[in-house]
Structures are given as structure tokens and as C-alpha cells.
């Protein structure tokens, strides 16, 4: 084992330096602008789809992957896509058949060509089955991922303004 020690050290050091160099790579200005534009398109299409089709449209914008989760108000609302799918189809569309969603002050932080972070204020007018509209305001953050099907929300957190 002693005779392999220098080789193992060199291999480890090389791997370490290579991985550090890879993590220091940053996006060019044009790449960053492209990611921002794509994430803004995702935000825009999400708001339009939710406002047109209702809450079922969220499922078109969530990433259907094992890593998906959503938190709201400090609690884990959906631990995975399957739970979100079941709850939205079985409950949400019945208790809130219409939602009008508007984003404000959208921020996008491109991390790589495939991953970005989005934050935005939001205003929702939620319509219940009787037609009563309840407004909600808060802040939304998400990790977004460029998948084979385009940009999708991978992880999300909603926080409501106090009193809501």
C-alpha cells in the first residue's frame, strides 16, 4: 500500500483541482442572458397557463422527477411530483377551480446553462366553487431546471404576506 500512496495522492489532488476548476467556471454574459430570458419565459407561460386553465396547469410546469418538492409557509407541501399530481387533481381543482396569477419583480440567478434560481413577488386571485374571489400576496422562490421538455420548476417555496 505504501508504494501506491504517492500515486493515490497525485490522483486525489488532480481530481480535487479538476473539480475546483470546473466549479469556478462561470457563464458568459450571453449565456447568462439566455438563461434569464428562458426562465422569464417559463414564468410568463406559467402565469398565463394558470390564469387560463386553472391550477391543473401547474403540473405542466413542475419537473416530473424524483428531486421535485414544494414547500409553503415553512412546511413541506409536496415531497415529490406524484404527491403534487394527486393532490392537485384530487383536491385543488375542486376547491379552487380558477386562479389568476401575476408575478412582480422577477429575479433570475443563472447558475449553469441547466439550473437557475428564480424569485418573485406574486399576487393570486383564487376563485372558490361558489365564485368568491380571495386575493393572496407573497413571495415565491424556485430552482428551475432545463429538462428535455424545457425549463421546469424543480423545487419551490411559497411564503404569504402576514394576515393571509
- Reported as a single tens digit per residue, the pLDDT across 50-80 is 999 999 999 999 999 989 999 998 999 999 9
Nearest to 162 by CA among 54, 70, 73, 89: 73
Cα dihedral across residues 27, 28, 33, 34: positive or negative: negative
Nearest to 99 by CA among 149, 133, 130, 70: 133
Predicted confidence band at 118 (pLDDT cuts at 50, 70, 90)? very high
Average pLDDT over residues 11-21: 43
Average pLDDT over residues 129-158: 97
Go through 100-126 and write b for each residue having 16 or more CB atoms within 10 A of its CB, e for each that does not: bbebeebebebeeeeebebebebebeb
Each domain of the chain, given as residue ranges in start order, spans 27-160
Average pLDDT over residues 103-123: 98
Cα 84 to Cα 21, 64, 105, 122, 137: the distances in Å are 38, 10, 26, 20, 21
- Give the fold, CATH level 3, of 27-160: Nuclear Transport Factor 2; Chain: A, (3.10.450)
Strands 75-78 and 98-110: unpaired
The answer, yes or no, to whether residue 41 has pLDDT greater than 70, is: yes
**What pTM was estimated for this model as a whole?**
0.81
Instruction: Looking at the chain, list the stretches that DSSP marks H as alpha helix, in order from N- to C-terminal side.
Output: 5-24, 29-53, 58-61, 81-87, 93-95
CA distance 54 to 44: 15
CA distance 158 to 87: 17
Average pLDDT, the chain: 88
The answer, yes or no, to whether residue 154 has pLDDT greater than 70, is: yes
Amino acid at each position: 500500500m505504501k508504494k501506491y500512496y504517492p500515486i493515490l495522492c497525485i490522483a486525489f489532488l488532480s481530481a480535487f483541482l479538476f473539480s475546483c476548476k470546473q466549479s469556478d467556471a462561470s457563464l458568459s454574459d450571453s449565456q447568462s442572458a439566455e438563461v434569464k430570458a428562458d426562465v422569464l419565459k417559463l414564468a410568463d407561460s406559467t402565469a398565463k397557463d394558470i390564469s387560463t386553465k386553472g391550477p391543473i396547469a401547474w403540473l405542466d410546469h413542475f419537473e416530473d422527477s424524483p428531486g421535485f418538492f414544494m414547500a409553503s409557509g415553512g412546511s413541506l407541501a409536496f415531497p415529490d411530483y406524484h404527491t403534487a399530481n394527486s393532490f392537485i387533481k384530487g383536491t385543488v381543482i375542486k376547491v379552487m377551480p380558477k386562479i389568476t396569477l401575476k408575478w412582480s419583480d422577477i429575479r433570475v440567478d443563472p447558475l449553469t446553462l441547466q439550473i437557475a434560481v428564480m424569485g418573485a413577488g406574486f399576487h393570486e386571485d383564487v376563485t372558490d366553487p361558489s365564485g368568491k374571489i380571495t386575493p393572496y400576496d407573497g413571495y415565491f422562490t424556485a430552482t428551475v431546471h432545463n429538462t428535455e421538455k424545457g425549463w421546469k420548476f424543480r423545487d419551490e417555496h411559497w411564503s404569504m404576506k402576514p394576515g393571509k
